[in-house]
Structure 1
Amino acid sequence: MHEKIIGRRYLRELFGAIGIYALILTAAIVFGRTLAAGPARTLVLASPVIGIALAAWAIVRHMRRVDEFIRQSTLENLGIAAALTAGLTLTYGFLETAGFPRLSMFTVWPLMGASWLVTGLVRGCFFK
């Protein structure tokens, strides 16, 4: 029962942070493009980092709330996902020198998140 309460609180905090991120991102895109180059434009266009920081805060709070077993398995999943992401991005960097199109740094976090999700699903389904 305790895990369900913690899980619901985590999802509320995380999706709240994602919602704030989406709102700030939308506002930054709409208003940032109309501003002249300079510090104000830079601040407006970088402001979605606030939502990212809130999401990171939700993840850290969740990790502090869960028991040792969940914490350990989550951190193992994250470590595996980080290794997969590092390997894939490094490999793609070599492919870029072979003529593949350059990718934005914005592709790294979705790849990391997807790797973390897949790692958790595979380890949860096959390695209980």
Structure 2
Amino acid sequence: MHRGRFIVEFSASMAAYMVVLVGSVWFLNISEIEGGWKTVVALTPMLPGAAVALSVMRQVRSSDELQHRIQLEALSLAFAGTALVTFSYGFLENVGYPKLSMFFVWPLMAVLWMVGGLISARRFR
């Protein structure tokens, strides 16, 4: 995928995600829906979220072998780092640290993926 096309697709998907997220949270706070519909509304941001994931996957799939290697190393760091941090914190919760929401896992993984990408790309310069 051409980089410009990826940026447009990714940005549009992220914008849609943010709009749907804000809309669903707003709707859940003002409405009195119950049961299954509440679940459906809460999960609606995942539709544009899936579009974000697909755009990233298409970009990686269309990249060259060096970029594949850089992304593999970056994702390896993100996967292992996220596992170490989340398990460590899980053990700390057993001794009284406050429980954290699952919402912290993806941002942690994303930050570690970016750090891993920077480290790996720097190695291949």
TM-score, normalising length: structure 1: 0.89
Pairwise CA RMSD:
1.3
> Which residue of 1 is the match for residue 4 of structure 2?
8
Shift of residue 36, structure 1, vs aligned partner: 2.5
Shift of residue 122, structure 1, vs aligned partner: 2.4
> Which residue of 2 is the match for residue 113 of structure 1?
110
Determine which of 43, 49, 55 is the counterpart of 2:46. Answer: 49
Shift of residue 18, structure 1, vs aligned partner: 0.7
Unaligned runs of 5+ residues in structure 1 are none
Cα distance in structure 2, aligned partners of 1:89 and 1:14: 27
Q: 4+ residue runs of structure 1 moved beyond 4 angstroms?
A: none
SS in structure 2 at match of 1:103: coil
Cα distance in structure 2, aligned partners of 1:51 and 1:120: 24
Between the two proteins, the alignment pairs up a number of residues equal to 123
The percentage of counterpart residues that share the same residue type is 35
The worse-fitting range, judged by mean Cα deviation, of 60-69 and 81-90 is 60-69
Cα distance in structure 1, aligned partners of 2:71 and 2:48: 22
Does the 8 A contact of 2:73 with 2:117 survive in 1? no
Does the 8 A contact of 1:6 with 1:66 survive in 2? no
Does the 8 A contact of 2:13 with 2:49 survive in 1? yes
1:99 and 2:96 are equivalent in the alignment:
yes
Q: Which amino acid aligns with 2:17?
A: Y
